[in-house]
């Protein structure tokens, strides 16, 4: 029995197979209905997820703390001072199992700063702030809250069927031992997208340099995992972004969002993918 041979191609960024042999007029087009999840997509590019056994727990924690992360973002301008204080005193303890914080704030905390400290179980005596902290709490209060906020905005669209899959805190490695960390990664119609989150309070030179470095990193990941339309975003807590950085990011197919744009992230994604 003769085997029927069909030759065709899949256009970049489309979920359809176009038959070019045997030739027909017009060319036959077949819709591709299957959708890859994140793990399947990464595997097709030779990458494995190194921490896949913990991803469900990481996601569950982010969903549980959704209201807390939303509150911090809503009040960011008023609490960024105390968040900066916590980052300064806890950043070197992010990889430790626990840490006993005891440090003096440089002024009397404002009422809203006292509110966030009390929400997270800190003891406050005059200006002395203390607490015995676990690793997960340290990571959350030194920037993890921002990643979790962004993830929740993305994951709502997965729940609504607008996006196909989304994960937070993904560590990937290729067969050649090239490794990368993805703050948030999601799938839409067999295309891969990723978001980096940076809690940067000021528009100073050092923080602009951090964004510049992230542009190169995100551009490199996009090169490894599929080019095409804009596949990467960098979400920041900055009120404005240097124009030269914005232009450089666009050249790499990367979109940089200010704090106000992050506050409207869900609407932006709905407009793009809905």
> Residue 2: its pLDDT value, please?
67
> Residue 226: its pLDDT value, please?
73
> Residue 272: its pLDDT value, please?
95
Q: How many CB atoms lie within 10 A of CB 11?
A: 10
Domain boundaries, the chain: 1-33, 38-61+143-273, 67-139
Please give the Cα distance from 185 to 197 (Å, whole number).
11
Please give the Cα distance from 86 to 245 (Å, whole number).
28
> Residue 230: its pLDDT value, please?
79
> Residue 116: its pLDDT value, please?
98
Q: Which residue has the higher pLDDT, 224 or 59?
A: 59
Q: With left for phi above 0 and alpha for psi between -120 and 50, is residue 169 left, alpha or beta? A: left
Q: Is the pLDDT confidence value at 3 over 80? A: no
CA atoms within 13 A on the CB side of 172: 25
Q: What is the pLDDT of residues 184-204, one digit of tens each?
A: 999 999 999 999 999 965 455
Q: How many CB atoms lie within 10 A of CB 71?
A: 17
| DSSP element (H, E) containing 114 | helix 111-119
Q: SS3 helix, strand, coil % of the chain, rounded to 5?
A: 45, 25, 30
Q: What is the pLDDT of residues 229-269, one digit of tens each?
A: 678 999 999 998 889 889 988 888 889 999 999 999 999 99
Looking at the structure, give the CATH architecture of the domain made up of residues 38-61+143-273: 3-Layer(aba) Sandwich (3.40)
């Amino acid at each position: 029995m003769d085997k029927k041979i069909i030759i065709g191609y899949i256009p970049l960024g489309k979920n359809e197979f176009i038959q070019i042999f045997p030739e027909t007029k017009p060319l036959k087009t077949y819709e591709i209905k299957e959708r890859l999840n994140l793990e399947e997509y990464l595997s097709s590019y030779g990458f494995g997820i190194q921490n896949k056994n913990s991803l469900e727990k990481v996601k569950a924690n982010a969903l549980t703390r959704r209201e807390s992360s939303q509150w911090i973002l809503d009040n960011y301008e008023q609490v960024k001072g105390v968040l900066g204080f916590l980052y300064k005193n806890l950043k070197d303890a992010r990889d430790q199992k626990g840490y006993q914080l005891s440090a003096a704030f440089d002024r009397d905390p404002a009422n809203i700063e006292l509110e966030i400290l009390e929400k997270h179980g800190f003891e406050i005596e005059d200006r002395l702030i203390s607490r015995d902290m676990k690793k997960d709490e340290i990571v959350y209060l030194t920037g993890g809250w921002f990643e979790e906020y962004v993830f929740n905005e993305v994951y709502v669209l997965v729940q609504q069927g607008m996006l196909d899959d989304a994960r937070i805190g993904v560590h990937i490695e290729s067969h050649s031992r090239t490794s990368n960390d993805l703050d948030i990664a999601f799938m839409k119609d067999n295309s891969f997208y990723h978001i980096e989150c940076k809690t940067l309070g000021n528009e100073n030179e050092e923080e602009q340099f951090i964004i510049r470095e992230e542009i190169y990193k995100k551009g490199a990941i996009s090169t490894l995992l599929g080019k095409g339309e804009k596949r990467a975003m960098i979400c920041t807590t900055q009120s404005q972004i240097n124009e030269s950085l914005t232009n450089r990011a666009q050249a790499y197919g990367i979109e940089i969002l200010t704090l106000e744009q992050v506050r409207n992230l869900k609407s932006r994604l709905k407009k793009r993918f809905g």
